[in-house]
């Protein structure tokens, strides 16, 4: 009989020895109950501080499924709906322009950016890069935000959204799938529609009912001793990372920008409660958070055939489609990983990872803090041990 726990621990230890990762933990749930937990390496290598069960990490993009769930709360309450124009909530999104192939033109009057485009990454919003006006101007906005961290005039969630609406889009909303700042704008829409700060809305509607006691947009002083260091592992030896990528404060301190796309800090057990709620059709410990039908909608693939073609460049996501800020397994026979039909989840820039596989009722959660990792080789090896 294969000893999965031992195989995982061996694989983990190897990843640490090879400097693939500096520290990692992993939790597997079956039907919401813990099946196994393993950990290895350091939360802080210099201080020889072990990576533990209560270690707090930057989730980066693994914040996105939480933002999607927050939107689902407002959708099922009839406050917002997917085909509403984003411009209804953020003024600058009413007169947007596109620069495509060097040509600037207005967004089609009969097809503005919808809330649905934010949920499905079909908005034309992009992440910073250097190839197009959309990427360059988005980068300039993030740079200004980071420069203002040291002032008493930090850029807020709403200011970021209002100003991003004036940056040209990379394409007409709905035409393509493109991973970018959509979830940050969705956070601002939730803030405007709910009349609450985005972080307060999440606290009241998700974190408190789900008992996510270590999750939020900053790390309180009394918890800083549990906060992991991030590492760049591309050289001979891992090097501590201290940048503020995508406007997320590496020091974990309060940030006026509550990023729906990347801003949350959390622990493996906190995120497990969120995953349990989804796996359980929206209820957690007898409390209904989302309805079963809402969860079914949230975890269904949403891309058209044309949009799906844009995912083909994401080589390691073979077989997956996308929808509501998560990858969703549509064709397991075209996948390079062992996965069941309908598996969903997401990862983050520093390597935290989450998936729910409804077919086998299995949840996998992994936390690590390696620069530019996403779903990396270690993650896929762990998965193959678990799902084989």
Contact 350, 373 (CB under 8 A): yes
Q: Which of 251-256's residues contact partners 24+ apart within 8 Å by CB, and which partners?
A: 252/56, 252/58, 252/218, 252/219, 252/224, 252/227, 253/218, 253/219, 254/217, 254/218, 255/149, 255/154, 255/217, 255/218, 256/154, 256/155, 256/156, 256/157
Same domain, 170 and 265: no
Residue 195 — pLDDT band, cuts 50, 70, 90? very high
pLDDT digits (tens, 9 = 90+) for 13-60: 999 999 999 999 999 999 999 999 999 999 999 999 999 999 999 999
- 341 shares a domain with 205: yes
pLDDT in tens, 223-239: 999 999 999 999 999 99
Same domain, 180 and 209: no
| Structural domain for 95, as ranges | 72-196
Measure CA 338 to chain center.
22
Same domain, 251 and 321: yes
Say yes or no: 133 and 244 in one domain. Answer: no
Residues 158 and 175 in one domain: yes
The phi, psi pair for 332, rounded to 5°, reads -55, -30
What pLDDT does residue 187 have? 98
- Check if the beta carbon of residue 185 is closer than 8 Å to that of residue 118: yes
CB environment 293-308: b (16+ within 10 A), e (fewer): ebbebbbebbbeeebb
> Among residues 133, 161, 196, which one ends one of the domains?
196
Handedness of CA 83, 89, 91, 97 (dihedral sign): negative
Q: Indicate the number of domains in the chain.
A: 2
> Diameter of the chain by CA atoms?
63
Secondary structure of residue 72 in the 3-state scheme: helix
Confidence of residue 241 (pLDDT cuts 50, 70, 90): very high
Query: Do 172 and 217 share a domain, yes or no?
Result: no
Could you tell me whether strands 23-30 and 33-44 are parallel, antiparallel, or unpaired per DSSP bridges? antiparallel
- Say whether both 381 and 265 belong to one domain: yes
- At residue 38, the 3 state secondary structure works out as strand
346 to each of 62, 280, 322, 352, how far by Cα in Å? 6, 18, 10, 9
Please count the other Cβ atoms lying within 10 Å of the Cβ belonging to residue 47: 9
Residues 24 and 127 in one domain: no
Angstrom CA distances, 71 to 91, 182, 204, stand at: 19, 12, 14
pLDDT at 315 > cutoff 90: no
Q: Which pLDDT value is given to residue 249?
A: 97
Whether 50 and 105 map to the same domain: the answer is no
Last residue of a domain, one of 142, 165, 196: 196
CB atoms within 10 A of CB 69: 24
In angstroms, rounded to a whole number, what is the distance separating the alpha carbons of residues 332 and 340? 6
CATH code of the domain containing 93: 3.40.710.10
The pLDDT value recorded for residue 353 is 98
- Cα 291 to Cα 137: distance, rounded to the nearest angstrom: 39
Q: Give the sign of the dihedral formed by CA 238, CA 146, CA 264, CA 348.
A: negative
- Phi, psi dihedral angles at 297 (to 5 degrees): -65, -45
User: Which of 175, 196, 217 represents a domain boundary (last residue)?
Assistant: 196
Nearest to 170 by CA among 69, 98, 95: 98
Residues 186 and 237 in one domain: no
pLDDT grade for 313, boundaries at 50, 70 and 90: confident
Residue 305 Cα to chain centre, angstroms: 24
Confidence band (pLDDT; 50, 70, 90) for 1? confident
Q: Are residues 143 and 162 part of one domain? A: yes
């Amino acid at each position: 009989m294969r000893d999965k726990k031992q195989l995982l621990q061996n694989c983990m230890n190897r990843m640490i020895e090879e400097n693939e990762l500096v520290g990692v933990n992993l939790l597997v749930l079956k039907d919401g109950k813990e099946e196994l937990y393993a950990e290895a390496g350091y939360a802080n290598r210099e201080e020889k501080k072990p990576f533990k069960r209560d270690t707090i990490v930057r989730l980066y993009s693994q914040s996105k499924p939480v933002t999607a769930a927050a939107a689902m709360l407002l959708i099922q309450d009839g406050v917002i709906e997917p085909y509403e124009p984003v411009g209804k909530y953020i003024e600058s999104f009413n007169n947007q322009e596109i620069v495509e192939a060097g040509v600037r033109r207005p967004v089609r009057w009969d097809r503005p950016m919808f809330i649905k485009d934010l949920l499905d990454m079909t908005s034309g919003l992009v992440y910073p890069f250097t190839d197009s006006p959309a990427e360059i101007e988005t980068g300039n906005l993030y740079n200004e935000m980071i420069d203002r961290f040291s002032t008493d005039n930090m850029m807020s969630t709403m200011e970021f959204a209002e100003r991003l609406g004036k940056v040209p889009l990379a394409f007409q909303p709905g035409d393509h799938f493109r991973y970018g700042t959509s979830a940050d704008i969705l956070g601002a829409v939730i803030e405007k529609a709910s009349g609450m700060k985005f972080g307060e809305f999440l606290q009241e509607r998700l974190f408190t009912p789900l008992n996510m006691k270590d999750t939020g947009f900053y790390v309180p002083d009394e918890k800083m001793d549990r906060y992991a260091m991030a590492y760049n592992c591309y050289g001979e030896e891992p090097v501590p990372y201290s940048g503020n990528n995508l406007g997320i404060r590496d020091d974990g301190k309060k940030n006026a920008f509550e990023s729906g796309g990347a801003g949350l800090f959390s622990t493996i057990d906190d995120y497990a409660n969120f995953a349990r709620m989804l796996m359980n059709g929206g209820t957690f410990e007898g409390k209904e958070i989302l309805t079963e039908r809402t969860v079914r909608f949230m975890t269904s693939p949403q891309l058209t055939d044309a949009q799906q073609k844009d995912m083909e460049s994401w080589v390691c996501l073979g077989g997956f489609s996308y929808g509501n800020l998560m990858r969703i397994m549509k064709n397991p026979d075209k996948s390079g990983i062992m996965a069941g039909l309908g598996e969903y989840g997401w990862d983050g820039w520093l390597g935290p990872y989450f998936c729910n596989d409804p077919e086998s009722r299995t949840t996998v959660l992994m936390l690590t803090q390696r620069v530019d990792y996403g779903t990396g080789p270690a993650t896929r090896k762990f998965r193959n041990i678990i799902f084989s």
